[in-house]
Amino acid sequence: MTNKVKVSNLGYPRIGKNREWKKTLEAFWAGKINEEEFRTEMTGIQLQHLKTQQEAGIDLIPVNDFTFYDHVLDTAVMFGIVPPRYAYDGGDIGLDLYFAMARGNAEATACEMTKWFNTNYHYIVPEIGAQTPRLTENKPLAAYRFAKSQAGIEGKPVVLGLYTFLKLSKGFASADIAKIAARFLPVYVQLLQELKHEGVSWVQIDEPAIVTGINESELSLLNSIYTEIAESVPGLNIILQTYFEAAEPLEALLKLPVQGLGLDFVHDGGTNLASIERLGWPEDKWLGAGIIDGRNIWRSDLDAKLQLIEKLSVHVPVDRLILQPSCSLLHVPVTVQGEVKLKATVKAALAFADEKLRELGLLAAALEGTGEAAAALTASREALTAFRALPERGRKDVAGQVLGLADLPDQRSLPFAERLKVQQEKWQLPLLPTTTIGSFPQTVEVRQARLKWRKGVWNQERYDGFVREQIADAITFQEKLGLDVLVHGEFERTDMVEFFGEKLDGYLFTTNGWVQSYGSRCVKPPVIYADIAFTQPMTIKESVYAQSLTSLPVKGMLTGPVTILNWSFVRDDLSREAVANQIALALRHEVKALEDAGIEMIQVDEPAIREGLPLKAEDHEAYLNWAVKSFRIATNHVKATTQIHTHMCYSEFNDMIDSISAMDADVISIETSRSHGELIVSFEEQEYDKGIGLGVYDIHSPRVPAVEEMTANIERALRVLDPEQFWINPDCGLKTRGWQETEGALRNMVKAAAIARENAGVSATK
């Protein structure tokens, strides 16, 4: 195979090598720079990202993948889709309104935020309603012009497809999606016509919603959308891009009037290749072959990738083959270059965004048969061989514990109804008990103290003393507010997964492996590179100290096995179920240690359990079965009087209620405030018999909601839930908030709880 194939990228990380993007955003929000300075800084970051890809030899460089907050929000704003509560009356949409939609302001709550498919990235949910879309600004066109004028790059504009945009939106009945699409289609056509008029050659239209499963009516809608585009914008090359799963039914998708189709050959379970081998490939279509993993950080087995390309080339003409990542590189850190603390064998096995681009270039060079490519392939092969041979990746003791899972009890000692009685007798909590999710503000002072400790400026004793002071203040703070169940505040924790990873065998940690979670919020996922094993207690010291300061119950705080899995970069040589079981066994030791130390209210958080849900409905049951099993492995051995709590981020509750109940937690809190109480509808349709707290206010926004607002949220929930099972709490941890807004919001929450108790008491006597 000597023909040169094209190399493309689907999207580049926004945050910058040293998180310059995040720092610029937060400086603007804090008033430290003005709008002109903000835009100048952002322009510089955007240009650097383009040049990096240009220097990597990428043929098709994406433009319009850069954003000030979120690409779905950008699409909504570009079409003038602004919820009525922001009092938008047309015209340009400035940064104040743009960021108000993302973060809320004093007058209006933020738009809902939820997970981008099954990733840890969050997008802002468009609220369409009765609004008539119009093109406020052609953002892809502006990005194309910028790349061409500033870097001489003939960019490939990236546009979120109309079908996926509507699937991700709210404010209309699902049955009306075709009618809504008809309202938007002229605006999409206008956008694409302007791109064609400018001389754009290729446009990448992202339609990941296709991989979640499509029925006949949805296929018909897709066909009508792309037929209209093809007829209205002839001559424009469109590659319809899917990712995260297999694109099915491929036979129907190949008939869509587009010039190319982008497929994920990493996370599709082999289905896309099998479909091509069965169906063949149209001679007049391009294939965007997503062969480098855009969601994980491991060096690729390039020999295996070359074999895959060889299989594809049997059916796809090489001159119509485009090599690319499986999805946007938004989901991985920028570069391994700065990871100087990792041992050489491990570092050589890593590939972040820049390294993945080089892998694509190397594959293209290898297809041409150059000598340099052969040497590079040998070096890559040797690096993987050395990494795979590390002894900690095949521990016999861990394998033995996993084999022993079959002998462990599968359920709690008593069913929930009986546990509830003994727990009520033990804890003597009031009706509608109040609590928080776990973390309190991580102030500059807290972060600086941790940094001094990590750098050795403070010794362990001094740092422990500082943490105890913070815990003592937090306990006093909560008692004064009148909360019923307290937390220690998690001041010793950088991150709810990293903290545990640092104390477990099998993890490694990067210096600069940051990825965007939402807005300017970046996380540095720990890396599971070997077998996971418990070594010593991880949370006892802080939990026991906090409990010694108060007569009120203090929850022990752990992160659950599925969340630790889903919020880590995970080794790719074992199934995710196998790794989850290793984590669960380690946490089982910690739960036992807490209980033995007298901490008998233990919260094992699983906020990420839904995001790991496979995108296709037929795969849900298998995942949920092992996810529930791993939670129970970690928690089901405690005494009947020990109360197990968990926390989950927003999910469509209807499709998971049985599995959530099967986790057998005594109390579950669910993030719901940004969904404006929509989750409550689920309880009108299905019964849930355990303790539950629906978050009564949104912690992702800096605004302090009024007592009346929270009271309304509580009353709405109590229309369908028994007051005996209802807990009152914020919808998530308070780590990212300031103390002033935290105090204001929690004070109002306690007042709202008192009002609700009084109302519930009156109702109960009638």
Q: Is 611 annotated as a binding residue?
A: yes
SS3 131: coil
Q: Is 275 annotated as a binding residue?
A: no
Tell me whether residue 700 is one of the annotated catalytic residues. Answer: yes
DSSP per-residue letters across 301-362: -HHHHHHHHHHHHTTS-GGGEEEEESS-GGGS-S-STT-TTS-HHHHTTB--HHHHHHHHHH
Q: Is 488 annotated as a binding residue?
A: no
Cross-strand partners of 668? 646, 692
Q: Is 490 annotated as a binding residue?
A: yes
Amino acid at 69: Y
Q: Is 327 annotated as a binding residue?
A: no
d(CA 299, CA 384) in angstroms, rounded, equals 8
Closest CA to 385 of 349, 356, 355, 350: 349
Q: Is 438 annotated as a binding residue?
A: yes
C-alpha separations of 644 from 300, 563, 640, 754 in Å: 41, 16, 10, 25
d(CA 157, CA 25) in angstroms, rounded, equals 24
SS3 578: helix
Q: Is 20 annotated as a binding residue?
A: yes
Contact 632, 580 (CB under 8 A): no
Closest CA to 555 of 490, 467, 632: 490
Longest CA–CA span in the chain (Å) reads: 86
490 torsion bin: left (phi>0), alpha (psi -120 to 50), beta (else)? left
Which among 49, 71, 267, 700 is annotated as catalytic? 700
d(CA 657, CA 506) in angstroms, rounded, equals 33
Q: Is 267 annotated as a binding residue?
A: no
Token duo for residue 275: 């479909």
Contact 641, 595 (CB under 8 A): no
Q: What is the per-residue burial (b if ≥16 Cβ within 10 Å, else e) of 661-683?
A: bbbbbbbbbbbbbbbeeebbebb
Q: Which residue has the tokens 């969904």?
A: 675
Amino acid at 335: T
Contact 402, 581 (CB under 8 A): yes
C-alpha separations of 64 from 155, 237, 347 in Å: 9, 17, 32
Cross-strand partners of 205? 159, 240
Token duo for residue 419: 């546990």
Contact 149, 53 (CB under 8 A): no
Q: Is 649 annotated as a binding residue?
A: yes
Taken as a whole, the chain contains a residue count of 766
**Pairing mode, strands 6-7 and 122-124:** unpaired
Give the angle 599-601-607 at the CA atoms, nearest 5°. Answer: 120
Q: What is the per-residue burial (b if ≥16 Cβ within 10 Å, else e) of 583-610?
A: bbbbbbbbbebbbebebbbbbbbbbbbb
Q: Which residue has the tokens 């929509």?
A: 678
Contact 291, 28 (CB under 8 A): no
Q: Is 522 annotated as a binding residue?
A: yes
Query: Side-chain half-sphere of 235: how many Cα atoms within 13 Å?
Result: 8
d(CA 492, CA 489) in angstroms, rounded, equals 8
Find the helix packing angle between 302-313 and 353-368, rounded to 10°: 50
Token duo for residue 693: 């707290």
Number of helices followed by number of strands (H, E) in the chain: 27, 21
Closest CA to 707 of 763, 677, 747: 747
Find out whether the peptide bond into 126 is cis, omega within 30 degrees of 0.
no
Annotation: binding site for Zn(2+): 647, 649, 671, 732
Which residues are documented as binding site? Answer: 19-22, 115, 437-439, 490, 521-522, 567, 605, 611, 647, 649, 671, 732
Which residues does the annotation place in the binding site for 5-methyltetrahydropteroyltri-L-glutamate? 19-22, 115, 521-522, 567, 611
Active site residues: 700
Binding site for L-homocysteine, by residue number, is 437-439, 490, 605
